[in-house]
Structure 1
Amino acid sequence: MIRLAISIGDPAGIGPEVVLKALADPAVAALRPVLVGSRSILSRTYAQLQPRSSQPIADPAKLRILDIPIDPLLERSIHWGVENAAAGATSFTWLDAALAATTAGRFAGVVTAPISKAAWHSAGHAFPGQTEVCAERAGVDRFGMAFVGRSPQTGWKLCALLATTHIPLHQVPVVLTPELLDHKLDLLITMLDRDLGITHPTIAIAGLNPHSGEGGQLGTEERDWLIPWLAQARDRYPNATLRGPIPPDTMWVTAGQAWFGPTMPAGLPDAYLALYHDQGLIPVKLMAFDRAVNTTIGLPFVRTSPDHGTAFDIAGQGLANPASMIEAIHWAIELTETRNQWRDRVVATYRE
């Protein structure tokens, strides 16, 4: 059985709630993941939400927990829906403990419940997000933010990578370079092979400007460097089919058709490379808000996370939907299993 850790996220948000609701699902409970957090917080969540929860919720007394207690004074400062330094410090400690155990070999992968970046910063942890903490603790500097999801209508698998993530829009054309896209494309091709078992992928790559610049009339980045970069990338990766730069407003049309059905378009890409945050995540969340899963690629272990935030506005009300957390757990198992098969193939190749 694959050993999986789940850090329970910001205790003032919906993290502990969606984790306990996910573990009420028999298929998730059968995986026997270990929750990393405070037993007292989980017990309090269960006691207060179980009578009014909109869905079944697991009893922490029956779960496997790596208990990371918090100071009682600190715990009394944590209240549902209140973003503060106490909750930020607590969620950071739990994530750190989960990563330490994972990098030490105790777990094969980690699922992270949502945290508040502002609460982290108030607590003195100046990371942009959990992705960067995972990378630092793993000792890697080449990593990326990808999203995967499986359509409940058709079974089609969506995979999208963001070339840039949490930066202001006006910085995107400055940050985007051929070197950055080299790095991201290499990560994506490796991930498709190692974690999804796709050895000859087709990848759709977005343009930056409307209509992909329309020959320089609506922006020159495509003409000046993106199209020449793609030509070189096709030479470097002969086993991959690279399509692009595709106008961003049409790149996702067949993905939407594949997600919602009922017919499946021909010639679908295996993955999509979006050049900035909203170019990728608006279509992903429109298609798959409760199904998409964030996965950090480039790590020596699998990390997934639900594709939603702390939802402070509904925290403590029993209303949170665990669907994305359930998907994150199942995807962590699936990606780890595929990665293990990849390792077996590599070992077998070296032995021949």
Structure 2
Amino acid sequence: MNYQNINKKLKIVISVGDESGIGPEIILKALCSHEIPKNIDFILVGSKKNLIYTYRHLKSLGLKNLANPKNLKIHDLAISLSDNDTKSSYGNSSFYYLTKAIEIVKQYPNSALVTGPICKKSWSLAGHYFSGQTEVLAKSCGVRKVGMLFTAKSPITGWRFNTLLATTHIALCEVPKQLTAELIHSKLDLFKDFCNTFSDKPILKVAGLNPHAGEEGILGHEEKDWLNDALITWNKKNRDINLLGPLSPDSCWNSSVKAWNDKKAEKHDGILAMYHDQGLIPMKVIALHYSVNTTIGLPFIRTSPDHGTGFDIAGKGIAQSQSMIEAIKTAIEMTNNSRLLNTH
């Protein structure tokens, strides 16, 4: 199907993710939310049959506020499921939903992608060896430098809380091996471009790798050996950025808690974390259901709810949809921002 000339409204393409998880449920809940603007053209990529089944099943449980798939624009991909290896089949389906959604987004100059949660193990079982959706997006768009950034807008203060990861889905023991001055400079370049879209003089913080940021080499040597110098070198070339760090990781996010809850608190524009859990633990504790995963460095905006497939609660009707609502709202806000407007 060629979508290119349907109309010029802002389009949000949603890949439903792993259909054996909570993806279909939270999408149907989110699209019925009063928080979602009505003037958006949504295109869902997944199985229409599965979405209709999910809708009917949730209705039978007594849920009322659900978008009816019959009223939604769905790019229906009928990918057969194997009875012998259901996990692999759902992994295969979710992978092709993502790749088709990317293909559709590329056809529009004013569109964004929202991705439902997937299971990396299921992808692997299906023969798709990627550590996450971010890596598929980067390869599909032919870009080498991308960043996994988690963002959330406080419902209390309206402040946007941003945490970028220097390394992503790798084992903890691999983190020190992958961290280099070049990698830090690359991530800070992406972070600067992102923050410059809403702030002329961004304040960025950088968390240290080690406890107490190494305590001058006593608790770890990376900060002393190269990270301090890497930050100084980058900041000399980017004097419009107020760069702070490396800071002790155990207190680096204290100011984020204050900014999230208090309008009068001192604000910062973002924190660069050295590894996945260092950034995600405070992000999820502070922002809870409001946190959104977004990939920066792509030719279009991509967001995703900041949680997994929820296999243990799938089909029970109890999955919270706030993170999916926030993912859609964030995609709309970022795409509508004149300085973030994609040109693909």
**Which TM-score band (shorter chain)?**
over 0.9
Please give the per-residue CA displacement for 1:62-97, whole angstroms capped at 9, x wherever unaligned: 1121222223xx2x749xxx9701101111111111
* Conservation of the 8 A alpha-carbon contact between 2:334 and 2:340: no
Match of 1:23 in 2: 31
Change in Cα spacing, 1:65 to 1:271, as seen in structure 2 (3 Å) is same
What SS does the corresponding residue of 1:50 show, helix, strand or coil?
A: helix
Q: Show the 5 A alignment for 1:238-277.
A: 238-261=239-262, 264-266=264-266, 268-277=267-276
Matched, 1:39 2:48: yes
d(CA) in 1 for partners of 2:236, 2:93: 48
Match of 1:3 in 2: 11
Q: TM-score, normalised by structure 2?
A: 0.93
* Conservation of the 8 A alpha-carbon contact between 1:6 and 1:110: yes
Change in Cα spacing, 1:68 to 1:330, as seen in structure 2 (3 Å) is same
Change in Cα spacing, 1:56 to 1:211, as seen in structure 2 (3 Å) is same
Change in Cα spacing, 1:142 to 1:259, as seen in structure 2 (3 Å) is same
* Conservation of the 8 A alpha-carbon contact between 2:119 and 2:309: yes
d(CA) in 1 for partners of 2:48, 2:56: 12
* Conservation of the 8 A alpha-carbon contact between 2:167 and 2:276: yes
* Conservation of the 8 A alpha-carbon contact between 1:187 and 1:298: yes
Matched, 1:180 2:183: yes
Matched, 1:151 2:150: no
TM-superposed CA distance for 1:343, in Å, is 5.8
Match of 1:160 in 2: 163
d(CA) in 2 for partners of 1:77, 1:273: 44
Match of 2:309 in 1: 310
- RMSD value, Cα: 1.9
* Conservation of the 8 A alpha-carbon contact between 1:23 and 1:29: no
TM-superposed CA distance for 1:234, in Å, is 1.2
Match of 1:122 in 2: 125
TM-superposed CA distance for 1:53, in Å, is 5.1
Match of 1:139 in 2: 142
Match of 1:301 in 2: 300
* Conservation of the 8 A alpha-carbon contact between 2:132 and 2:169: no
Match of 2:232 in 1: 231
Matched, 1:287 2:286: yes
More helix by share: 1
Please give the per-residue CA displacement for 1:278-315, whole angstroms capped at 9, x wherever unaligned: 11000000011210000000000000000000000000
* Conservation of the 8 A alpha-carbon contact between 1:3 and 1:106: no
Structure 2, unpaired ranges of 5+: 1-8
d(CA) in 2 for partners of 1:85, 1:260: 43
d(CA) in 1 for partners of 2:182, 2:204: 18
Match of 1:349 in 2: none
What SS does the corresponding residue of 1:28 show, helix, strand or coil?
A: coil
Aligned AA (1:4): I
d(CA) in 2 for partners of 1:179, 1:290: 33
Structure 1, unpaired ranges of 5+: 347-352
Match of 2:21 in 1: 13
Aligned AA (1:149): A
Aligned AA (1:51): S
Please give the per-residue CA displacement for 1:140-190, whole angstroms capped at 9, x wherever unaligned: 111010011011122111011000111111111111110110111111111
d(CA) in 1 for partners of 2:143, 2:201: 26
What SS does the corresponding residue of 1:269 show, helix, strand or coil?
A: coil
* Conservation of the 8 A alpha-carbon contact between 1:216 and 1:222: yes
Please give the per-residue CA displacement for 1:39-71, whole angstroms capped at 9, x wherever unaligned: 101001001111215562111011121222223
Give % identity: 45
Aligned AA (1:120): W
Match of 1:62 in 2: 71
Runs of 4+ in 1 over 4 A off after TM superposition: none
What SS does the corresponding residue of 2:315 show, helix, strand or coil?
A: coil
* Conservation of the 8 A alpha-carbon contact between 1:28 and 1:326: yes
Change in Cα spacing, 1:343 to 1:44, as seen in structure 2 (3 Å) is closer
